Amino acid sequence: MGAKGSQLIINVLIPAAFPYMISGFKQGWAFAWRGVIGAEILFSFLGLGFLLQVGRYQYDVSQVIAIMLVIMGIGMLIDGFVFKKVENKVMFRWGLR
């Protein structure tokens, strides 16, 4: 097609890689979310991880399950509202759906 240099990168390579970049962002966010919860369990006195740990120490199964559901719900909301919309737009734009 005759594209060279920066035109090749901007007009061909980045658009072709964008669906895979979105998948990488989703996976990176999932790892970061689990890391935040893990750090809160170990080092915090405030937050969902701390509440999860308190419920564990007090043998309060209902609190542990409730916090786990909240953590899962936040993860699903971010995935559904942020990443799914972007992913659908990118897939539609490039004719993959």
Is residue 1's pLDDT more than 70?
no
pLDDT digits (tens, 9 = 90+) for 9-60: 888 888 888 888 888 999 999 999 999 998 988 898 889 999 999 999 999 9
Of 68 and 95, more confident: 68
Prediction pTM value:
0.74
The region that residue 57 occupies, defined by phi over 0 for left and psi between -120 and 50 for alpha, beta otherwise, is alpha
Of 35 and 94, more confident: 35
